[in-house]
Amino acid sequence: MPEQMKPYLPTVLLLLLIAYLGVQALTGERGLLSGGERDALLAQRQTQLMRLAEQRQDLEVRVRYLRTESLSKDLLEERARAVIGFADPRDYVVRLNGPAGHNPDATRAS
């Protein structure tokens, strides 16, 4: 490297570092220009948090009804039928062969 360039080398490196940090401050993941993306992500996460809080509250109610001091026989029977696949002989079972909204008569006519 020529002797005339040596005094300018630290200055050039410092300017490149400042330019890099400036670009990152504007366009980086947490930069000034990415505020809209952060706001959209925050709104999505808040919606997800509300949904999870509702699910938790529902599960807490179900657990409360399954405790021995306040056992709900209907809820216990519903869970047993869902888990085991048990159906009472007096129950009506409706079987669906196709997707919801599928009309088998419409396919025969065409």
- Reading the block at residue 23, the tokens are 């670009």
Q: Which residue has the higher pLDDT, 83 or 41?
A: 41
Domain span at residue 57? 21-82
The answer to the question of residue 77 being in a domain is: yes
In a domain, 110, yes or no: no
pLDDT tier for residue 79 given thresholds of 50, 70 and 90: confident
pLDDT of 102 reads 57
Give the per-residue pLDDT at 101. 57
**Contacts of residue 97, Cβ cutoff 8 Å, sequence gap at least 6:** 104
Residue 4 covered by a domain:
no
Give the pLDDT of residue 98. 64
15-19, 26-30, 42-46: range with lowest mean pLDDT: 26-30
Residue by residue, what is the 3-state secondary structure of the chain? CCCCCHHHHHHHHHHHHHHHHHHHHHHCCCCHHHHHHHHHHHHHHHHHHHHHHHHHHHHHHHHHHHCHHHCCHHHHHHHHHHHHCCCCCCCCCCCCCCCCCCCHHHHHHC
| Domains identified in the chain, total number | 1
pLDDT tens digits along 89-99:
787 777 777 66
